[in-house]
Structure 1
Amino acid sequence: MYVVVETWTPKPAFFAADEETRNNLFAGIQEAMKQLAEIGVVTLGWGRVEPAAHSASHEWFAVWQAPSRDLADGFLGGVESSGWYTYFEQSNVVGELRSVEAVAAEHLALEAEVK
């Protein structure tokens, strides 16, 4: 299973958009979410980033799961084609969800790059 974590902050264009434009944007997202669920890409939830040590710099987040990397990439392509990035500054994290032991082993095998 793959996970996509989106973090974002509204751009001035979002605040300048009229109510109809904002409503249409989120109505389109809700419709797309129904279609995504049919192919196995589901949202685990959305929220506002709360202050914490080493917190993300963006204000909002969403967590999604996808059964494959191809579907995760397709999801992000849909986000881009929706016009979302016109209104929001965003950073994404995509990766396969694996065990703590597997990831720890990879970290222990890391060597510093020599430049």
Structure 2
Amino acid sequence: MSHYLIELYTPNSAWNALSKNERKQYLGNVATAMGGLLELGVKPLTLTQIDTAVEQRSEHLFVAVWHFPNLATRDALLSGIKASGWYNYFSHVNAAGIETSFAEHLDALCNI
């Protein structure tokens, strides 16, 4: 069963306080750590700045959408994100769930 994670994030004052070289070094470490997770089946569907023209948009500046083959792989990415110190540098919100059909989604909404 496929699992998904959506991250919404915005750099905070701790990130803004880093020099450009410190940011590059930190992000280089993140990129290196991601190599092992990609081998486990972590698949980034998109990592992008949020379109500010869309109605009802989030106030966050960036979005990442991830696909995982299973829950354990999703949790491995979440553990890596936390261990990297990411949450110290970004105002961050996660949303996660499993793949369902449109009909299953409507049924879940109806039954809340």
**Superposition TM-score, scaled by structure 2 size:** 0.91
Check whether the contact 1:46–1:62 (CA below 8 A) recurs between aligned residues.
Answer: yes
Larger Rg: 1
Q: Shift in Å at residue 80 of structure 1?
A: 0.7
Equivalent in the alignment of 1:24: 25
Where does structure 1 differ by over 6 angstroms across 4 or more consecutive aligned residues? Answer: none
Check whether the contact 2:37–2:76 (CA below 8 A) recurs between aligned residues.
Answer: no
Check whether the contact 2:5–2:96 (CA below 8 A) recurs between aligned residues.
Answer: yes
The DSSP-based 3-state class of the residue aligned with 2:48 is strand
Aligned residues: 110
Equivalent in the alignment of 1:8: 9
The DSSP-based 3-state class of the residue aligned with 2:8 is strand
Q: Shift in Å at residue 54 of structure 1?
A: 1.1
Superposition RMSD on alpha carbons, in Å? 1.1
45, 64, 67: which one pairs with 2:66?
64
- Where structure 2 has 5 or more consecutive residues not aligned to the other structure, the ranges are none
Cα distance, 1:42–1:32 mapped onto 2, change above 3 Å: farther
95, 98, 101: which one pairs with 1:96?
98
Identity of aligned residues (%): 27
Check whether the contact 1:33–1:42 (CA below 8 A) recurs between aligned residues.
Answer: no
The DSSP-based 3-state class of the residue aligned with 1:57 is coil
**Superposition TM-score, scaled by structure 1 size:** 0.89
Q: Shift in Å at residue 19 of structure 1?
A: 2.4
Alignment of 1:15-54 (within 5 A): 15-51=16-52, 52-54=54-56
